[in-house]
C-alpha cells in the first residue's frame, strides 16, 4: 500500500503506527532485502554510517558511560533528558521517547518493573491497559494511587529499562547493566522508603534472586531501603487465586506505612 507521506496528517500517521504495533511490527525495515554480512565490503567511504571502527583502546564501555551520565541529573526531567541522549542501548532505535516511570517526584513507595510492554508504551505509564487498571484498584484498597499530585498517598512507578524490547522479550543482561545506573539515580532522586520489585528482573537487580514468587511478601533490604517483592499485575490476571497473596502483601505494606511505624520494622 503506497502512502503519500507529504500529505499524511498526524492523526493518520499515529493510527498507522498503532495498527502496525497491533500486527506485531516491532522494527522498521527498508523496501528491499539487505545482505548485512556484505555491508562492510560494500559501504563507500565517507558519511556517518561509514566511519571506521573505534579502536578498542578508545572504545567507551556502555555501563561506565551510563554511570557517568546518570550521576549528573538533579531532577527527574534532567534524568529523562540524560536517558534520551544515551546512545548505547539499541532498544532506543525506532522507539518512542524513553519511559522512566510515572507518579510523584517524591514518594514513600516506589514500584519497580523491568521493562514496559506495549500497553504501557501506549499509556505512557509503567503499567497500562488491564494491568494498570488492576494495579490502580489494588493501591486504592490501601489508600494509595499513582497520580503525580497525590501528595503523601502517591506511589512512584519506575522502569529498569525504559523501552519496550521487541516481542515483549526480557531485556538482555547487557541492556540491564547499561540502564541500571539510571534506575539507581531515579531511586536516589525520588528517595522512597519502600521499594517494591514486581518481576524477575527487578528482584534480580535488587536482591540477586529472580524467583519473585518465593520472594514475595517477605521484607528485605537493598539500597539502604526496605524492599517488599510483590507479584506483578500480569501474573494476578492469569492466576486469580494469587490475588489473596497480593492482598496479604498490600496489608503488610499498609501496616509499615502507618504513622510512627519504622519502615522495615517487624510487625
Say which residues have a Cβ less than 8 Å from residue 169's Cβ, sequence separation at least 6: none
| Cα distance between residue 50 and residue 267, in whole Å | 62
Assign 47 a pLDDT band (cuts: 50, 70, 90). very low
Which pTM does this prediction carry? 0.75
Q: Which H or E run contains 192? A: none
pLDDT reported for residue 225: 97
The more confidently predicted of residues 187 and 45 is: 187
CA-based nearest residue to 245, from 230, 234, 258, 256: 230
Neighbours of 164 (CB within 10 A): 24
Please give the mean pLDDT across all residues of the chain.
86
- Domains (range + CATH), the chain: 62-257 (3.40.470.10)
- How far is C-alpha 175 from the geometric centre of its chain's CA atoms? 12
Compute the radius of gyration of the chain from its Cα atoms: 21
In Å, what is the CA distance from 267 to each residue of 143, 216, 227, 256? 20, 16, 15, 8
Give the mean model confidence (pLDDT) for residues 102-125: 96
- The per-residue pLDDT for range 196-216, each reduced to its tens digit, is 999 999 999 999 999 999 999
- The per-residue pLDDT for range 64-97, each reduced to its tens digit, is 999 999 999 999 999 999 999 999 999 998 788 9
Assign 54 a pLDDT band (cuts: 50, 70, 90). very low
- The per-residue pLDDT for range 153-179, each reduced to its tens digit, is 999 999 999 999 998 899 999 999 999
Cell readout for 43 is: 559501504
Amino acid at each position: 500500500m503506497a502512502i503519500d507521506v507529504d500529505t499524511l496528517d498526524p492523526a493518520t500517521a499515529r493510527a498507522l503506527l498503532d495498527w502496525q504495533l497491533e500486527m506485531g511490527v516491532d522494527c522498521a525495515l527498508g523496501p528491499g532485502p539487505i545482505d548485512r554480512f556484505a555491508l562492510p565490503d560494500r559501504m563507500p567511504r565517507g558519511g556517518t554510517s561509514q566511519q571506521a571502527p573505534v579502536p578498542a583502546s578508545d572504545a567507551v564501555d556502555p555501563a561506565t558511560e551510563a554511570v557517568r551520565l546518570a550521576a549528573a541529573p538533579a531532577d527527574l526531567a534532567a534524568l529523562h533528558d540524560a536517558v534520551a541522549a544515551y546512545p548505547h542501548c539499541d532498544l532506543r532505535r525506532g522507539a518512542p521517547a524513553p519511559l522512566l516511570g510515572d507518579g510523584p517526584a517524591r514518594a514513600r513507595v516506589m514500584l519497580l518493573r523491568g521493562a514496559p510492554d506495549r500497553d504501557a508504551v501506549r499509556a505512557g505509564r509503567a503499567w497500562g491497559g488491564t494491568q494498570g487498571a488492576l494495579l490502580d484498584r489494588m493501591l486504592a484498597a490501601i489508600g494509595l494511587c499513582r497520580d503525580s499530585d497525590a501528595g503523601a498517598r502517591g506511589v512512584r512507578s519506575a522502569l529498569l529499562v525504559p523501552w519496550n524490547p521487541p516481542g515483549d522479550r526480557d531485556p538482555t543482561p547487557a541492556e540491564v547493566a547499561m540502564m541500571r545506573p539510571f534506575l539507581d539515580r531515579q531511586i536516589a532522586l525520588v528517595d522512597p522508603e519502600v521499594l517494591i520489585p514486581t518481576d524477575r528482573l527487578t528482584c534480580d537487580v535488587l536482591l540477586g534472586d529472580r524467583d519473585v514468587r518465593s520472594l514475595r511478601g517477605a521484607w528485605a533490604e537493598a539500597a539502604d531501603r526496605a524492599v517488599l517483592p510483590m507479584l506483578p499485575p500480569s501474573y494476578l490476571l492469569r492466576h486469580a487465586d494469587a490475588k489473596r497473596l497480593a492482598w496479604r502483601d498490600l496489608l503488610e505494606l499498609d501496616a509499615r506505612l502507618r504513622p510512627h511505624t519504622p519502615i522495615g520494622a517487624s510487625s
